Amino acid sequence: MAETENIPSGEQQPQPVTQAPVPAPEAKRDFRDQRGGQRGRGGRPGGRRPSDDKGGDDLAEKVVFINRSSKVVKGGRRFKFSALVVVGDKKGRVGIALGKASEVADAIKRGGELARAKMQSVSLKDATIPHEIYTAYGGARILLRPASPGTGIIAGKTVRAVLESAGVKDILTKSLGSKNAANVVKATLNGLLSLRTREQIYQGRGLEIKKVSAAKAPEAVAA
């Protein structure tokens, strides 16, 4: 016979403790994905700033300068942002533009779109420029000199952004005037657009480039 326990009438039999089911880690991740992910400061995932280099559609996009302006109105201040963006394919095409919006991300996006529409071709010789050039825009003065392979880009961050986007790898530069980012970028771009290769100069003058054949080595005299 099975054994039975006598429980007093005033006491209640203890109920087994049940634990609530713990959701699986996969379910938590799915829930975060459905609501858009965890966001940090600025409403962007992780709170990180937008990257300066974007490799979509094989174009390099660099943010050179971001400026903030304010307007005093009856209800307070209204802020707007402008972003100077340089876009290039690193194969001889580059463009610059200034995007404006009420948010930083929107200003960068607008600047990138305008810069893509304004891309222009520049004349390069291998990984450097064909000749030395001195250019100016406003108060900015920029000197560009060709360099031998392996030299690298000797330039400040503003001039470097334009040269790298255009595809220049070896060059010597010097900024001799104003440090205003917009003027420096435009002066550098004007200098690149003013470059001409030997073939382009001959073609503009209606001349033909004569190919010089290698001289034959003299035959060795028999002893």
Q: Where are the domains of the chain?
A: 56-120, 123-204
The class that CATH gives domain 123-204 is alpha beta
Domain 56-120, CATH number (from 3.40.50.1580, 3.30.160.20, 1.10.3720.10, 3.30.70.260): 3.30.160.20
How many C-alpha atoms does 29 have within 13 Å on its Cβ side?
Answer: 3
Q: What is the pLDDT of residue 75?
A: 85
83-137, pLDDT tens digit by residue?
999 999 999 999 999 999 999 999 999 999 999 999 999 999 989 999 999 999 9
Q: Tell me, yes or no, if the two domains 56-120 and 123-204 fold the same way.
A: no
pTM, entire model: 0.67
Residue 34 has pLDDT above 60, yes or no: no
pLDDT at residue 176 is higher than 60: yes
- DSSP for 7-76, please give it: --TTS-PPPPP-PPPPPPHHHHHHHHHHTT--B-GGGSBTTPPPPS---GGG-EEEEEEEEEEEEEETTE
